[in-house]
């Protein structure tokens, strides 16, 4: 039983406007970084521009999935559409990996055929402006994503932060090339940036797969649930078969409550209502299912796992 209100579809849908911010930032940074590449001829700066193309694709995917996630539950999707956010972060992670391969493919030939860099000062200045834009948008998306439990916005933010760190590495590399004349440093920095991108993309993809596989709640959330149950536990009230899962922004908790068989239906129902309300009080965006069983009935102890023994 559960009477908790669904996640506010209005709030989920409103998150789409932050995806528009990400898309706008990607378009601006693509233009700036492409200009920086043409000014300098640096492969490191080209890798930065290519990653911004992925930012744009990720922003468009985030906008689509956040719009879907904001839809209310219907007959075919009784638990809502919140899992759509995992598709967004998974696709974005995959796009990051593709961009990394493209950077590596472009960089390897330059190791054997170095090229002089041009207008380094202007190129670095333009790229630095683009990085500051990405940093500001990333911090905004991270804050909003964590506040609203949106894996889509968090993945987008992590991607942008990776872009920022990659850009810092590229800027340092280009500056070193300009100061020392070590032309081989430019493709090396580009490949290091690609390796960093692969690491971030892999983490995002893995997190998306875990979500689609209905992974349990975070240990700290499960600890909160157990703490609530302990406040009700006594000689007459016991618990077992605690199961949890995360579906996008929504958290699901299922638990069996064992009470004396002599209790009335009203007594049991009143207890379950209090337990569910207490759990929802410590877990935002949660749906709680409770099942009442008799302490004296042996069959009550046969279903402590997912499948009844």
Mean predicted confidence (pLDDT) in 251-258: 93
* Residue 7 scores a pLDDT above 50: no
| Cβ contacts of 103-108, under 8 Å, gap ≥ 24 | 103/46, 103/47, 103/50, 103/51, 103/190, 103/191, 103/193, 103/194, 103/197, 104/191, 104/194, 106/43, 106/46, 106/47, 106/190, 107/43, 107/47, 107/187, 107/188, 107/190, 107/191, 107/194, 108/187, 108/191
Predicted pLDDT of residue 12: 58
* Residue 309 scores a pLDDT above 70: no
| Average pLDDT over all residues of the chain | 78
* Residue 280 scores a pLDDT above 50: yes
CA distance 300 to 125: 69
The token pair that represents 295 in the structure block: 């302490």
Categorize the per-residue pLDDT at 3 as very low, low, confident or very high, splitting at 50, 70 and 90: very low
User: What does DSSP assign to residue 252?
Assistant: E
pLDDT digit string, tens, across residues 80-127? 777 777 777 777 677 777 767 766 776 666 666 655 555 556 666 777
Question: Which of 74-78, 227-231, 297-301 ranks highest by mean pLDDT?
Answer: 227-231
* Residue 21 scores a pLDDT above 70: yes
Give the phi and the psi of residue 17 in degrees, each rounded to 5: -65, -25
What global pTM score does this model have?
0.59
Predicted pLDDT of residue 9: 43
Residue ranges and CATH numbers for the domains of the chain are 9-212 (1.20.1510.10), 219-302 (3.30.70.1350)
Beta-carbon contacts of residue 241 (< 8 Å; ≥ 6 apart): 254, 255, 256, 291, 303, 304, 305
CA distance 194 to 281: 44
């Amino acid at each position: 039983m559960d009477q908790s209100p669904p996640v506010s579809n209005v709030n989920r849908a409103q998150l789409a406007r932050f995806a528009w911010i990400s898309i706008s930032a990607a378009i601006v940074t693509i233009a700036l970084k492409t200009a920086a590449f043409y000014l300098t001829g640096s492969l490191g700066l080209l890798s930065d521009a290519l990653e911004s193309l992925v930012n744009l694709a990720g922003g468009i995917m985030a906008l689509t999935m956040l719009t879907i996630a904001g839809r209310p539950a219907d007959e075919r999707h009784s638990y809502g559409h919140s899992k759509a956010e995992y598709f967004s972060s998974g696709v974005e992670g995959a796009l990051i990996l593709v961009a990394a391969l493209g950077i590596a493919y472009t960089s390897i030939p330059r190791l054997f055929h170095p090229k002089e860099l041009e207008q380094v000062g202007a190129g670095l200045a333009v790229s630095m402006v683009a990085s500051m834009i990405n940093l500001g948008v990333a911090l905004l998306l991270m804050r909003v994503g964590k506040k609203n439990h949106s894996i889509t916005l968090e993945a987008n933010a992590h991607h942008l932060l990776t872009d920022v760190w990659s850009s810092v590495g590229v800027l340092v590399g280009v500056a070193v090339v300009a100061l020392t004349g070590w032309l081989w440093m430019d493709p090396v920095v580009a490949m290091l940036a690609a390796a960093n991108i692969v690491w971030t993309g892999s983490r995002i993809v893995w997190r998306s797969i875990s979500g689609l596989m209905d992974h349990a709640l975070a240990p700290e959330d499960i600890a909160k649930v157990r703490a609530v149950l302990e406040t009700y536990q006594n000689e007459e009230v016991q618990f077992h078969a605690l199961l949890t899962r995360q579906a996008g922004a929504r958290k699901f908790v299922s638990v069996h409550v064992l009470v004396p068989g002599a209790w009335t239906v009203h007594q049991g129902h009143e207890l379950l209502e209090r337990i569910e309300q207490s759990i929802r009080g410590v877990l935002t965006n949660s749906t709680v299912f409770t099942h009442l069983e008799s302490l004296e009935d042996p069959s009550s102890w046969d279903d402590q796992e997912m499948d009844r023994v």
